[in-house]
């Protein structure tokens, strides 16, 4: 009989890999033990990934609904709400990934504590690319290592990082709106290039957050499947 009951993180969006992640996490609990520091920190990280994705999904819905209703050049109060949704969306999205990588560091500390340390100064340095570097040293050919490496080397991940930094530490990104009178439509450009030369501008429309949410959900699914396989291999 299954000793676990109910969802660990409550009701999450359908595109979050809830069941696969819960199963892998519960396998970890059975192997590592409920009270082990590695398990506790891993649980905190996975909670962060789950809750941040839920937050992202809420802001995706809010921004898309607003853009459909009032467009990309709305009155100031609607403009503020759209900018708030974009701000939270990109910060929550990157936080979701960073939390998952933190959880993987914590999990790995159970098997290789000499590399994946849990001291305060070591935890401060846990970042996605640093986690991948350590996994390459200890499990260079594992599916989890390959999946994490693929993500951190992607252009999409670079975009998330850059936008998070711009929005958190620099500016409210301005918009350039071109009106097509004949077609009665607007072309809305988010002028990210003005705030950070790392990449060009981004078009704002009904798909701006939706397509990026899909990318993130796809990456999480691949990461979780690789995580599950990794745990199963450790138990052999």
- pLDDT tens string 95-107: 999 999 999 999 9
- Yes or no: say if 24 and 228 are a contact pair by the CB < 8 Å rule: yes
The answer as to whether 179 is a domain residue is: no
The answer as to whether 11 is a domain residue is: no
pLDDT category, 4, cuts 50, 70, 90? low
The answer as to whether 89 is a domain residue is: yes
The answer as to whether 178 is a domain residue is: no
Chain mean pLDDT for the chain: 92
C-alpha span between 220 and 145 (Å, rounded): 14
pLDDT computed for residue 185 by the predictor: 59
C-alpha span between 207 and 75 (Å, rounded): 21
The answer as to whether 180 is a domain residue is: no
Half-sphere exposure (Cβ direction) of 229: Cα atoms closer than 13 Å: 14
Comparison of pLDDT for 179 and 162, the residue scoring more: 162
DSSP 139: -
pTM of the model: 0.93
pLDDT computed for residue 129 by the predictor: 97
- pLDDT surpasses 80 at 2: no
User: Which residues lie below 8 Å from residue 66, measured CB to CB, with a gap of 6+?
Assistant: 74, 78, 81, 82, 85
Of the candidates 146, 162, 18, 41, the residue with the CA atom closest to the CA atom of residue 94: 162
- pLDDT tens string 110-131: 999 999 999 999 999 999 999 9
Helices of type H across the chain: 18-32, 37-70, 76-111, 120-123, 128-138, 143-152, 155-169, 192-195, 208-234
- Yes or no: say if 134 and 105 are a contact pair by the CB < 8 Å rule: yes
DSSP 188: E
The answer as to whether 162 is a domain residue is: yes
Number of domains in the chain: 1
Of the candidates 165, 182, 171, 197, the residue with the CA atom closest to the CA atom of residue 83: 171
Comparison of pLDDT for 194 and 169, the residue scoring more: 169
- Yes or no: say if 212 and 70 are a contact pair by the CB < 8 Å rule: no
- pLDDT tens string 21-65: 999 999 999 999 989 999 999 999 999 999 999 999 999 999 999
pLDDT computed for residue 199 by the predictor: 73
Mean pLDDT of 133-161: 97
- Yes or no: say if 66 and 208 are a contact pair by the CB < 8 Å rule: no
Domain limits at 116? 18-169+206-234
pLDDT category, 186, cuts 50, 70, 90? confident
The answer as to whether 61 is a domain residue is: yes
The answer as to whether 124 is a domain residue is: yes
C-alpha span between 154 and 222 (Å, rounded): 14
């Amino acid at each position: 009989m299954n000793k676990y009951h109910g969802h660990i993180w409550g009701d999450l969006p359908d595109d979050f890999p809830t069941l696969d992640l819960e199963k892998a996490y519960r396998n970890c609990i059975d192997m590592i033990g409920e009270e082990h520091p590695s398990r506790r920190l891993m649980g905190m990280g996975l909670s962060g990934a789950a809750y941040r994705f839920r937050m992202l999904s809420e802001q995706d819905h809010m921004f898309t609904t607003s853009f459909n209703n009032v467009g990309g050049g709305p009155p100031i109060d609607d403009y503020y709400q759209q900018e708030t949704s974009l701000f939270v969306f990109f910060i929550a999205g990157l936080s979701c990934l960073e939390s998952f990588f933190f959880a993987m560091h914590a999990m790995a500390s159970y098997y290789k504590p000499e590399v994946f340390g849990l001291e305060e100064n070591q935890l401060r340095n846990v970042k996605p690319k640093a986690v991948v570097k350590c996994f390459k040293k200890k499990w260079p050919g594992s599916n989890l290592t390959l999946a994490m490496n693929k993500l951190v080397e992607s252009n999409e991940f670079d975009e998330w990082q850059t936008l998070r930094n711009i929005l958190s530490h620099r500016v409210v990104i301005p918009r350039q709106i071109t009106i097509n009178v004949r077609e009665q439509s607007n072309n809305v450009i988010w002028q990210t290039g003005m705030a950070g030369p790392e990449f060009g501008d981004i078009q704002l429309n009904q798909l701006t957050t939706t397509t990026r949410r899909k990318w993130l959900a796809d990456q999480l699914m691949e990461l979780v499947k690789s995580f599950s396989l990794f745990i199963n291999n450790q138990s052999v």
